[in-house]
Structure 1
């Protein structure tokens, strides 16, 4: 009995550890390549210093989000206040923020991108900000953006 309990605890612990170690990309070039290779849209989180942690704590740090994101999207985090980013990356991130019409931080945009002749074209699928209600409600709304009912 204790052996089964230990095995169960091991698997549950592994599951919850995975929820804390999401693979957020910070390079759009890498994210686009992975998105196209895996045929998944990108979830682009626009964030900055001093923004509310509600989205991070109530949505992104949950096991439900970890499982959903692994199966559905490529995670990209663009921190607009990152002082370690190169000037080119900061400029690119601000252009993307403006192109996607992001007003308030943090905000998430879902997008696909193609690269032809060294020119990147983005196709915005939709955007979503933090809303109270937990991870399941946020995921349900995200699924409506990613898989619209026609």
Structure 2
């Protein structure tokens, strides 16, 4: 009985560790390159210090989100209050926030991008904020944005 419990705890622990170790990109140029290479849209998470942690705690830190994000998107986190970011990066992140029409933080935008002749062009797919209901409901709504039914 103890052996079975230890095995179960090991598997559950590995799921939670995976959810904690998501590969969030913070450099938009790198994220665009990875997105284009993997042919996956970017999930751009706009946040700042002092904003609600519900989105992170109830959605991003779940095993369901870890599995879904690995298969569907390239994760990009743009912290608008990051003191370690240089001035040009801060300005770029604020311009992106405005360009995507982000009003309230935290918010997620889905987008594809391309770089041609040193000019970046974004194609916004949609955006979503935190909504109560858990990871599965949030993922279902995100899937409607990424794969609209026509």
TM-score by length of 2: 0.95
> What displacement does 1:14 show?
1.5
Counting only pairs closer than 5 Å after superposition, residues 53-92 of structure 1 correspond to structure 2 as: 53-92=53-92
> What displacement does 1:6 show?
4.1
Q: Does 1:51 align with 2:36?
A: no
2:51 match: secondary structure: coil
Q: Does 1:132 align with 2:132?
A: yes
CA distance in 2, matches of 1:125, 1:91: 23
Q: Does 1:9 align with 2:9?
A: yes
**Residue 98 of structure 1 corresponds to which residue in structure 2?**
98
CA distance in 1, matches of 2:103, 2:5: 49
CA distance in 2, matches of 1:49, 1:4: 42
- Segments of 5+ residues of structure 1 without an aligned counterpart are none
> What displacement does 1:2 show?
5.6
TM-score by length of 1: 0.95
CA distance in 2, matches of 1:40, 1:51: 28
RMSD: 1.2
Aligned length: 150
Q: Which string of whole-angstrom CA distances, capped at 9 and with x for unpartnered residues, describes residues 75-97 of structure 1?
A: 00000011110000000000000
> What displacement does 1:11 show?
2.9
